[in-house]
Amino acid sequence: MKIDLSTADALAEMICGNPPYDKYFPYRTSSYLTRFFRGVNLDYVHDGSTRRWRVARVLEELNNQQDPDPDLPPPKLVKVIEYLLNPIHFIDSPDNHDNAIKLANEILSLNNLIITKDELTANVKLRKIVAGYVSTSIDSDDAKKVITFSPSVFDVPSKPVETNLVSVMIPFEKSFDEVLETIKAACSSLDLDCKRADDIWINSMIIQDIFELIYCSSIVIVDLSGRNPNVFYEVGIAHTLGKHVIPITQHMEDVPFDLIHHRVITYLKNNEGLNELGIKITDRLRVLKAQLD
C-alpha cells in the first residue's frame, strides 16, 4: 500500500523537526538529516534545497517502490517511519517519546496504520489497523493486537472517542448521589466532562446509551460497592474496549475475584471519606489526563 501525500508531508515535517511538530520531534539540520537516513541504510545526501521538500521527495521515492505487503507501505518507508519513532532519538527527552508516537498515530491512522510501543524495551513497530481503534490505552502492550469486534447486542456508535469525557458507572440509587457529586466535582476541577447514563437519552434502550457512553469515553469510573451486577457488566464492557478504568468501592469484599488484581480506591461514605475520595480520584484523573493530552 502507499501512504497518502498529506501523511508523507506530515512525516517529512516530523523528520525535520519543523512546526507544528517541533515540540516533541528533534530539529535536524541538513547534516543531521543525512545522518538520519543513513541510520536506515539509505544513501541520502542533502542537496542544498529546502530541507522539508528534499525529505518529502525522498519519502515519495520510497512510497513508490515495489510493495510486497498490501497492508503496509514499502519496506524501506516502514523502516524510516519506525526509525523516526526509535527511542534512541528521545534519550535526552524521554517524555517526548510517547507524545511523538501519539502525534504520528494521528497522521498514520488516516491510512489505517498505527505505531505500537513495547513497554519493556520502548521499541516501536508499524502495524496495520484492521478496525476502528477505540482503546484509550494505546501505550499498553495489549495495543500490539488490534481486534475487530461486531457486537450483536449493541450498535457500534459512529461518534469518535472524546479525550475529555469521563463516564461513571454507579448504581442508580439515591444513596450514591453524594458519591456521584464527588466524582463530578473531581472531573470539573480538571475541566473534564463527566456523565452518567441518565444524563443522556439518545437511544430507545438504556443499555445502548450506556454502551455508547463507555465507547466514547476515554476514562470510566466504576463503583463496585454493593456488588451491583449492572456495574460489573459495564466494567466488562469498559475493559474489553480498552478504556482507562478507575474502580472505587466502600468495601474491598465487594470486589470480585476477577477484579481483585486491579488497584481499587476505597472510601468511607461520610464527609471526611468523600473528601478523601475526591482527592484520590482527582490525582488519578490528573495522571490519565496527562497521558491523553
Annotate 34-66 with DSSP letters as a single string: HHHHHTTT------SS-HHHHHHHHHHHHHTS-
- pLDDT above 90 for 206: no
Strands in 103-218 per DSSP E: 113-117, 124-128, 165-169, 193-195
Residue ranges, comma separated, of all CATH 3.40.50.450 domains in the chain are 165-292
The pLDDT value recorded for residue 291 is 83
The pLDDT value recorded for residue 143 is 45
Contact 146, 129 (CB under 8 A): yes
Dump pLDDT digits (tens) for 211-258. Answer: 999 999 999 999 999 999 999 999 999 999 989 999 999 999 999 888
The pLDDT value recorded for residue 250 is 96
Higher pLDDT, 188 or 54: 188
In the beta sheet, which residues pair with residue 193?
165
Dump pLDDT digits (tens) for 13-67. Answer: 999 999 999 999 999 998 899 899 999 998 877 666 788 888 999 999 999 998 7
Dump pLDDT digits (tens) for 152-172. Answer: 778 887 778 898 999 999 998
CATH among 3.40.190.10, 3.40.50.450, 2.60.40.10, 3.40.50.2300 for 165-292: 3.40.50.450
pTM of the model: 0.54
Higher pLDDT, 291 or 39: 39
Of 190, 188, 214, 179, residue with least CA distance to 200: 214
The pLDDT value recorded for residue 137 is 62
Q: In the sheet that 219-223 helps form, which strands lie side by side, from edge to edge?
A: 193-195, 165-169, 219-223, 244-249, 265-266
- pLDDT above 50 for 191: yes
Residue 123 identity:
N
Per-residue pLDDT band for 101 (boundaries 50, 70, 90) equals very high
The pLDDT value recorded for residue 140 is 45
